[in-house]
Amino acid sequence: MKIRIILPGAVLFTLLYLSSCSNPPVPKPRGYFRIDLPKHEYRLLDSIYPYRFELPVYARISPDKHAPGEINWINIEFPRFKGRLHLSYKPVNQNLSTFTEDAHSLVMKHIPKASAIEEVTIQNPANHVYGLVYDIKGAGAASAYQFYVTDSSAHFLRGALYFDALPNNDSLAPVIDFIKSDIQHMLETLSWKQGRGPMM
C-alpha cells in the first residue's frame, strides 16, 4: 500500500527533473546593488589653501595624514560611497615640467589594468586654470579618474579619485560617473589665490 503511494510521486518527480534539464542552463548576468545617488549640490571651499572651488555638500575635507608636512594636501571624502579625491598642491618655481611629468608617470602606472586612458584638456583662461584630465577605463584600475591643473607660473594641483574597495569599476560605474560630474564642477569653479598660501 505504501509502495503504491510513494511510487507515483517518485515517477512524477523524475519526469519533472528530466523535462527541466532538456535545455542547457543559461547563466544569469551578474547583478550589482542599486545605488541611490543624491542631488548635486555644492558649497564653496575658501579656507587657508591657495586655491578655492565649489565642492559637494555631501563631501567632507580631511588633511592628508600620510603627508603631514604638506598642509595644502587634502582629501575630499565621499563617505556615502567610500571614496575620496586626493588633492596634492605644489608651488611652481621653474619646475612645472617636473610636476607634469610626475603626474603623467603616476597615470601610466595604471596601464596594466586599464583598457584605455582618455585625455581631456582643461582650459579656463578667465581663472588661469589649465591642465589635463585622465579618464582611466578598465574594471581593475585602482584610480578611475585623475587630473592636474596649473596657472603655469605659481600653482600646481593634482587630483586622483580612489575607493576603499577592491577595484571593480564595472560595479562602481554609476558612482564614478556621479563623482566625475562633481570633479568637473570643481575644476570649472577652481581659482587661485594671490600668493601661495601657508607653506612648510
The CATH class, in words, for 51-192 is: alpha beta
Q: Strand locations in 25-115, DSSP E?
A: 42-45, 51-56, 60-63, 74-78, 83-91
In tens digits, the chain (200 residues) has pLDDT values of 444 545 566 665 555 555 555 555 555 555 445 567 999 999 999 999 999 999 999 999 999 999 999 999 999 999 999 999 999 999 999 999 999 999 999 999 888 888 889 999 999 999 999 999 999 988 778 888 999 999 999 999 999 999 987 656 567 888 999 999 999 999 999 999 975 444 33
Q: Strand locations in the chain, DSSP E?
A: 42-45, 51-56, 60-63, 74-78, 83-91, 116-124, 129-137, 145-150, 155-163, 191-192
Domain ranges of the chain: 51-192
